Chain A
């Protein structure tokens, strides 16, 4: 017993070192479970506040670019207005006599909420974006986030009262379903951690016809994003002879380095299909 205590006293520094190292590695490899811990929420509020101060300054340097992108987004929306299209036959009126269909609110599926980006990183192997909008402003976990040109940015992974953390597409665990707009083949969009703004679209059948510059859009199979939002544009194809599928390199639609604003998408009809699925499974 005495020897054990002596041993501990002599090697206490080394044991302390092992303890701190073990703690770091434990945190590193269990971070996904650690999301909910109290510390991470408090830290999120504090770092969020410091980042807001910093962003107040750096935002001025991006004003021009942000303005341009907002004008472009406005133009796109104007072009979608109903009054731009002439309706061929106005004598045939479709009259709706139920009250339910009339009220848009009960049928709305996606609600968009604007959010300011206060912190953004692109140089890490796992990149996160912090938005100045949190639980109090209606953000929940697992909501999708898009940019001002409606390109996909990522998914909300952590929410505190006033800030939320978004796992951007430039993250080794990011995984969303994408589709080629031309042919309709679906695959998975991931990031290999190397080139910024270059994503990989995997599992595309070799029968697909792919050209450079083709658009990759969201497939609409996930409950986070509506169908048809741009993810990126085909850059080139990696033809692996040993596999039966193509891997396509995709230039992302959003420029992750200059993000200033994003829109959080809340799917208001998320629960219904999930409940239905649960009912089927429990049978």
Chain B
């Protein structure tokens, strides 16, 4: 399956899961709102152009916003993490040429610790910015920081579960240059 088709299917699935499962379940607490949809951005291929990544991220956020009727609220954090992503990968990747030999970020391609750091940082940035934008409208800045921390923790658990349930097999490719 080509990478583009795979990503489009993923796009639809993440949006549907976020809108019809995670937004629908009665939340554990008012401080916790689980998010998973932005994992789509973290899973985009290494070698996709940076502008294409930004466009994909904007489209993802905007699709979710169309469902929740909050135009711009989710697309802004998505664009932000899509912009930070390449810098972070360059910093964290330790193995020489891993971004050439593997297709997309995963435990297998980056190693456990760098991959987990990568996920944690981007999740935290996403949640901080999202709840900051919410707080601008509703107020309560201490509330927003606590909410960002708790929701990051819950989202990380969800991401780890997703990684375990849907293991993505990565082929090691040689002669890539």
Say yes or no: B79 contacts A20, CB within 8 Å: yes
- A195 interfacial by beta-carbon distance below 8 Å: yes
Question: Do A24 and B69 touch (CB < 8 A)?
Answer: no
Query: Of the candidates B20, B27, B70, B138, which one forms a contact with A28 in the assembled complex, judged by CB atoms under 8 Å apart?
Result: B70
- Chain A 15-35, CB-CB to B under 8 Å as 1, else 0, gives 011001101111111010010
Of B27, B57, B69, B83, which is within 8 A of A128 by CB?
B69
Number of interface residues of A (CB under 8 A): 37
With a 10 A CB-CB cut-off, give which of A31, A119, A123, A257 has the most chain B CB atoms: A123
Instruction: Check A194 against B143 for contact (C-beta < 8 Å).
Output: yes
CA distance A46 to B63 in the complex (A): 11
Q: How far is the CA of A233 from the CA of B170 in the complex (A)?
A: 57
Main secondary structure of the interface of B (DSSP, over half): helix
The proximity string for B residues 23-36 relative to A, scoring 1 for CB distances below 8 Å and 0 otherwise, is 11011001001000
Residues of chain A within 8 A of B76, CB atoms compared = 21, 24-25, 28
Q: Is A43 an interface residue (CB 8 A)?
A: yes
Closest to B131 in A: A125
Instruction: Tell me whether B145 is interfacial, beta carbon within 8 Å.
Output: no
Are B70 and A31 closer than 8 Å at their CB atoms?
yes
Our pick among A21, A119, A172, A257 for the contact of B138 (Cβ within 8 Å) is: A172
Nearest A residue to B73, CB-CB? A28
Task: Provide the residues of chain A in CB contact with B50, threshold 8 Å.
Answer: 13
| B80 partner residues in chain A, CB cutoff 8 A | 21
Give which listed residue, B51, B61, B68, contacts A124 with CB less than 8 A: B68
Closest residue on chain A to residue B51 by CB atoms: A16
Q: Are A25 and B68 within 8 A (Cβ)?
A: no
A residues 1-60 near B (Cβ < 8 Å) are 12-13, 16-17, 20-21, 23-29, 31, 34, 40, 43, 46-47, 54, 58
The A interface, classified by DSSP as helix, strand, loop or mixed, is: helix
How many contacts A-B (CB < 8 Å)?
Answer: 86
**How many chain B residues touch the partner (CB < 8 A)?**
35
Give bound CA distance, A17 to B54, whole Å: 7
A150 at interface, CB cutoff 8 A: no
B69/A165 in contact, CB under 8 A: yes
Contact across chains for A13 and B68 when beta carbons are under 8 A apart? no
> Out of A21, A28, A46, which one reaches B71, CB within 8 Å?
A28
Pair A31/B72 contact, Cβ less than 8 Å: yes
Contact of A47 among B67, B133, B137 (CB under 8 A): B67
Q: Closest residue to B137 on the A side, CB-wise?
A: A172
> Can you list 22 residue pairs at the A/B interface with Cβ under 8 Å?
A12-B51, A13-B50, A13-B54, A16-B54, A20-B57, A20-B75, A24-B76, A27-B75, A31-B72, A46-B66, A58-B24, A124-B23, A125-B134, A125-B137, A126-B69, A126-B137, A172-B137, A172-B138, A192-B140, A193-B139, A194-B140, A195-B30
Residues in B lying within 8 Å of A, measured CB to CB: 20, 23-24, 26-27, 30, 33, 50-51, 54-55, 57-58, 61, 65-73, 75-76, 79-80, 83, 133-134, 137-140, 143
Measured CB to CB, the residues of A under 8 A from B are 12-13, 16-17, 20-21, 23-29, 31, 34, 40, 43, 46-47, 54, 58, 119, 121, 123-126, 128, 158, 165, 172, 192-196, 257
Q: Give 6 new A-B contacts, CB below 8 A, not counting A17-B83, A172-B137.
A: A20-B75, A21-B80, A26-B72, A119-B67, A123-B33, A195-B30
